[in-house]
Amino acid sequence: SLDWLLGLSHDEGVTGEIRESLEIEEAPDGFDRTLLAKWHSEAAGTKIRYVPAGIPDLLRTEALVDYEANITNKSREAQAGETQYRIDYTRRPETDMEVCMPRHTLEIFARGLGVWDRFPEAERRQQLLHMATLLDDLYPTFRLYLYDGRMRYSIPYTIFGPYRAAIYVGDMYLVLNATQPIRTLTSHFDNLIRAADINAHEAASFAQRLAEVQF
């Protein structure tokens, strides 16, 4: 109501509806204890759209998992468990997952810049080759698109079909359950794909070229 919007009313029913549509969930250390597995399971058979914060979880080698766990002080077991879960999930026949990220993230990684400045060159090359192999193996169930980060910007988030969207904000997730915000984020994701420089069928070759040219 207008009174509620102006702060003149505190109708518990309306407040409850707002709280259910917008939640904050903390990300504990153990992947099996997070809601990510539950959200993926509930969205099985629908399209999952994912904008990662860095190298997509399921494309990381064990060496990169170890390195990133050390620099972030997060559980190595939890991160490895999340990586394996996402791979297993993506191999299910009903899975349909699209990932979109800036191409310069991979270029920066290949050069050993940013947070990867202490990650050994040989391990970076192996990571890119591992990524190329998985991208080829998982296509078309898993599709990676790369856009120009100078032209587009996005925060990390995952859209679990029509059910919810989880925006990653460090050690917690801002979870949207209402239909309209999910549709808005879906439209944003689709615009990222439309602007992609590297399409899904080209992603494996791009990672392969980075591994061959950069090293």
Q: What is the mean pLDDT of residues 114-124?
A: 96
Domain for residue 4, yes or no?
no
Does residue 171 or residue 127 have the better pLDDT?
127
The length of the chain, given as a count of residues = 215
**Residue 116's domain spans which residues?**
27-213
CATH of the domain at 59: 3.30.870.10
Domain count, the chain: 1
pLDDT in tens, 12-53: 555 445 446 778 887 655 444 567 778 888 898 999 999 999
pTM for the whole thing?
Answer: 0.84
Domain for residue 5, yes or no?
no
pLDDT at 32: 47
Domain for residue 2, yes or no?
no
